A and B are shown apart, each in its own frame.
Chain A
């Protein structure tokens, strides 16, 4: 009997100890922010645009709809703007579920790390969020009235994911971009979007080039694809449209899809000067060739040569753009550090990528031309 009483007392006291938690975060008291866009304001201030869903409840037997609501606030730092946002919202603000962080171009040219710092510092920070740059203002991007997804945050998340899958963009999130923002031996490239407000759509226009944390240039879409090839991305199946006529005035188009990519970065050192060679062995197939002359083997060989020439030209142009922006997206300095450590210490520490010659060498091999010849 005494035992039972003892147990009873223990059992009744334990619930009192269990209830009450200092660290609870109830969903009903929080507004989950899914999309943040940072813009440069006046006098070095930062403007943030946040997008959070509100439930509209059930209407006309249909499922309950959620709608995006947008809030724009200004502050001295990135977190300050969010604290200001908190003053305007009926519930507590929570950015731990952010899916996408957008930066206006002006902001990106000043550097990204300062704005991301509070996410890195926060134990609940959304490190998996995607990062993209908006040509123009991030405000327009957050305020977009798109029709493809319920919430704007979701829209950009899906948008960037599909862009990676088709091979326009590098696959960086808040965390994986961090080493590159801080470090000097490799630089990031981030997706660049443009908003056309009258068409209610975002458009990918290539990638933004960075030198450390500062945006320094842009690549267009086909150059972005070229960059991914030269950088040895394998998963993405990239397509190119090329003019196969040797004269630029006449046009004979062909669309090819790269199926396999074996990429190697070689460094050759002569007189303590490094030349880097990016060589790629590409296997491709022809997905469209309106002229249709693919039965003749001699012509095929000629065609292959033309494609190779055109692609190499494109590669050179891409590299030149990267060098002009001083963006070491290929991690050439890193390669030098790894393979020629002494030389790197003496000469190439924080060297400008401009001063390192980079050559592209593409080998192309036709696999098939679709299900017809």
Chain B
């Protein structure tokens, strides 16, 4: 291939970070606090450790099929019919996750910033931004993600303001909620790591050896783990147990209680940056869904699939945004995550070991 789209290691790191850190992290401390209480931050570190094992599995799988993405691996393992069937399921999963992101996004935005704006306007804007970037190739997307990473750093620099009014007693004694609850909490927040499966999609395009890819993926995972744990830690020492129960978006609430000389309401400022982070996750899922689409029907260009995917997500989010439905949608997303980014890839790896399948075929970069 002449114009093969390739991205660098750094772009791979930012791509993974941006895909994984999205809509969920504002409410992450709340979700995990319901189970693990003051030890939530330990739970998150444990989840990160677990995800690291998953990263290892992914990269072993990738090194066995160095030039193929997930769908091509599926194809060469299961043959045409079953491979395409699973690819179709993956497309559904990507679309569903993308729609979940939109649903949660509108939900939080309407709560915090735009209570009177109709949902469809917000959705429409988000979907059009998603289309605008997702129709470009991976390189362009990765470059955009790199720039967007600066939005993430702002979170790390602003939230420590809370240390001013902290009370470390809230998280002491460490281990108060018991090992079982810590583990249970750890298994419950995997949704926040959703997007890790994109390692399998972008790995053939990264300009690096297998070992370097593993390093990059590990770095991304470490960053995400510490980012989540840090935010949760700050929330835990600022709010106590009773208050945490009341705040579904503790990160925003934390910032709302401060005001600076220049920025009177930092929470609004932070929401605007958060929109970028949500956008990047959404774009990734559009990209993933369109990739699966082009694999299914090769005649259609990827552009068409992006439009179709965005439209599907938009329509879905338009109809499922009631208070009760959101809970169901999030739950389904978590459980489908178990299947699609844990069960299937691990199963694939085992099968490839079992049948000694590996491939050195060329990547089909026609559409990317």
Contact = CB atoms under 8 A, between A and B. Distances in A.
Contacts of A21: 117
B243 interface: yes
A22 interface: yes
A120 B243 CA distance: 11
Nearest to B249: A123
B257 A338 contact: no
Contact of A22 (B118, B242, B259): B118
A367 B346 CA distance: 70
Given A127-B257, A176-B165, A176-B257, A23 B242 contact: no
Interface stretch (B53-61, B63-71, B108-116): B108-116
Contact of B117 (A23, A178, A334): A23
B interface, size bucket: 20 to 34
B257 to A, nearest CB: 4
Interface stretch (B169-177, B181-189, B204-212): B169-177
Contacts of B241: 183
A175 B257 CA distance: 6
Nearest to A334: B169
For B169, B176, B246, the residue with the greatest tally of chain A CB atoms inside 10 Å of its CB is: B169
B169 A123 contact: no
A123 B112 contact: yes
Contact of A341 (B113, B176, B242): B176
A363 interface: no
A183 B242 contact: yes
A278 to B, nearest CB: 16
A243 to B, nearest CB: 37
A22 B125 CA distance: 15
State the main secondary structure of chain B at its contact with A.
Answer: loop
Interface in A1-36: 21-23
A163 interface: no
Nearest to A128: B259
A338 B114 contact: no
B141 to A, nearest CB: 23
A182 B115 CA distance: 28
A173 interface: yes
B243 A178 contact: yes
Contact of B114 (A22, A128, A335): A22
B243 A23 contact: no
B116 A22 contact: yes
A331 interface: yes
Contact of A128 (B113, B116, B257): B257
Interface residues of A, number: 22
A179 interface: yes
Contacts of B258: 128
Nearest to A345: B176
A123 B113 contact: yes
B269 to A, nearest CB: 14
B172 A338 contact: yes
Interface string A311-336: 00000000000000000000100110
B173 A127 contact: no
Contacts of B114: 22-23
B198 interface: no
A22 B109 CA distance: 13
Contact of B239 (A173, A179, A334): A179
B68 to A, nearest CB: 40
B239 A23 contact: no
Contacts of A182: 240, 242-243
Contacts of A183: 240-243
Contacts of A331: 169
Contacts of B257: 127-128, 173, 175-176
A176 B253 CA distance: 12
B42 to A, nearest CB: 16
B358 interface: no
B303 interface: no
B256 A127 contact: yes
B242 A179 contact: yes
Interface in A162-199: 173, 175-176, 178-179, 182-183
Interface in B82-115: 111-115
Nearest to B172: A338
Contacts of B121: 22
Contacts of A123: 111-113, 115, 256
For B117, B176, B257, B258, the residue with the greatest tally of chain A CB atoms inside 10 Å of its CB is: B257
B66 to A, nearest CB: 43
Nearest to B164: A176
A153 to B, nearest CB: 15
Contacts of B113: 23, 123
A176 B239 CA distance: 9
Contacts of A337: 169
Contacts of A339: 173
7 contacts: A22-B114, A125-B256, A178-B243, A182-B243, A183-B242, A337-B169, A341-B173
Interface of B: 111-118, 121, 165, 167, 169, 172-173, 176, 239-243, 246, 256-259
Top 9 A-B pairs ranked by shortest CB distance? A175-B257, A182-B242, A22-B116, A22-B117, A338-B172, A127-B257, A179-B240, A23-B114, A183-B242
Interface of A: 21-23, 120, 123, 125, 127-128, 173, 175-176, 178-179, 182-183, 331, 334-335, 337-339, 341
Given A21-B117, A179-B242, 15 more contacts: A22-B118, A23-B113, A23-B114, A23-B115, A125-B256, A128-B257, A128-B258, A175-B257, A179-B167, A179-B239, A183-B243, A331-B169, A334-B169, A338-B172, A338-B173
